[in-house]
Structure 1
Amino acid sequence: MAANAKNISALLTGLAKRNYYNEPEYTDDFLKSQIFPDLSDEDYATLLKRCANYMKNLVSADMDFNQLEAFLTSQMKRREAAMTEEEAIAYRKFWKVHKNKIHDTLVSKTNWNNSLKKVSWRIDVKSQSKSAENINEPSAIVELQIENPEESQKTEVVQFEMDESRLAHVLQNMKDIEDQIVQYCQQ
């Protein structure tokens, strides 16, 4: 099975386009006819399975370049069906070009929950209340715009009111979150 680095790289790119970039026209038969027309069907199926498995390992582990080197080295040292140096070069080049794009594609596909689009709030003074002692007390009126990524034209608005103690609690929680983010970023 003589496959050079250029052909392996082309096969990996075709597999990435089909599996991650939503381009279904890159079928197995199309890739074989364009990249490996002289390879037997059996050898091509073996090569295709091997490339797909290696790519799946790279993507599922979201390997950085040190992990990639360790992975490729271990594959080249295998006794059976060891990876050649030329194939390893193709994987290095492929992963350098496609790592971030594949990662971003997978993240965008998994973001299927609603997301917070906008937060706005203001402080008002209560002019009506069940008890007279709550009149003229400050309260926060909060408005959240929530968007479903699958229905980007549809935005849901949620409004609610908070008293001073509840607002203080929410602001403290937001401060705690901010502190954790800052602490994480400084590590």
Structure 2
Amino acid sequence: MADQGSRSLLGLLNGIAKYTYYGDTVITDGFLKEELYPNTAEDEFQTLLTKCKTLMKSIASADMDYNQLEAFLTSHTKKKEGGITKEEATVFTKFWKNHKTKIHDSIVSQSTWNNTLKNVSWRIDLKTQARHIDQLHTPTAIVELQLANGQDKSKEAEVVRFEMDEEKLSSVIKNLEDIQKQINVHCQ
């Protein structure tokens, strides 16, 4: 019976993921109850459903690695009220191992509305012709950016090319370092 319970819970988690993260509109809470928990009281099923949705949302929004997941689920197995069993924790772990990447990609895709940077390529050229002699043989960075449409993946990537002299390149590098520092501050 415990094996059937584990399969039903895994089916419930898969169903929740399908309509929450993968955009499947056919699956509903009623459909999941009818298919997986037909003999369970409605209020009992709603409690289980809410608990599963809450745990899944916490796991997905934190994009937990497996060590974080283990610690998170262990803390929930120790809760007296509203916690989960070790068997349920095992099912959550199995589910997350199979869906982590796909759910992460789905969340990123749903939160991207503008173009995204797909690729960067660059090279350094030396000017061989110039209006002024002091501009000859100065290095210039030629940069090419491939931008993919955030919403419409079927469109071909847009390519933007530009060049920068040493001063502009130094300014861009400083700005990127500032961005990295801010990211590090917010990630700690």
TM-score (norm 1): 0.72
Contact 1:18 1:26 in 2 (8 A): yes
Alignment-mate amino acid for residue 159 of structure 1: F
Unaligned runs of 5+ in 2: 181-188
Q: 1:46 corresponds to which residue?
A: 47
Question: What amino acid maps onto 2:119 in structure 1?
Answer: K
Q: How does 1:90-169 map to 2 (within 5 A)?
A: 90-111=91-112, 112-115=114-117, 117-121=119-123, 122-127=125-130, 129=131, 132-134=132-134, 136-138=136-138, 140=140, 142-150=142-150, 151=152, 152-153=155-156, 155-160=158-163, 162=165, 165-166=166-167, 169=170
Q: Distance in 2 between matches of 1:156 and 1:44?
A: 51
CA change 1:161–1:94 in 2 (3 A) is closer
TM-aligned CA deviation for residue 26 of structure 1 = 1.6
CA contact (8 A) 1:126 1:138 kept: no
Q: Is the alpha carbon distance of 1:81 and 1:109 closer, same or farther for their aligned partners in structure 2, counting shifts above 3 Å? A: closer
In structure 2, how many angstroms separate the alpha carbons of the residues matched to 1:136 and 1:69? 61
Is 1:5 the counterpart of 2:31 in the alignment? Answer: no
Task: Give how far 1:166 is off.
Answer: 3.3
Report the Cα distance in structure 1 between the residues aligned to 2:135 and 2:74, rounded to whole angstroms.
73
Alignment-mate amino acid for residue 147 of structure 2:
E
Provide the alpha-carbon RMSD of the alignment. 3.2
Paired residue total = 170
Q: What stretches of structure 1 of length at least 5 have no aligned partner?
A: 181-187
| Higher gyration radius (CA) | 1
Q: Distance in 2 between matches of 1:96 and 1:116?
A: 27
Q: Secondary structure at the match of 1:57?
A: helix
Contact 2:10 2:91 in 1 (8 A): yes
Taking the aligned partners of 1:56 and 1:20, their CA distance within structure 2 comes to: 10
Q: Distance in 2 between matches of 1:76 and 1:135?
A: 69
Measure, in 2, the Cα distance between the counterparts of 1:93 and 1:154: 36
Question: Are the aligned partners of 2:126 and 2:137 in contact in 1 as well (CA < 8 Å)?
Answer: no
Aligned partners of 1:43, 1:110: CA distance in 2, in Å? 33
Q: CA 1:104–1:161 in 2, change beyond 3 Å: closer, same or farther?
A: closer
Q: What displacement does 1:161 show?
A: 5.1
Give me the TM-score of the superposition, normalised by structure 2. Answer: 0.71
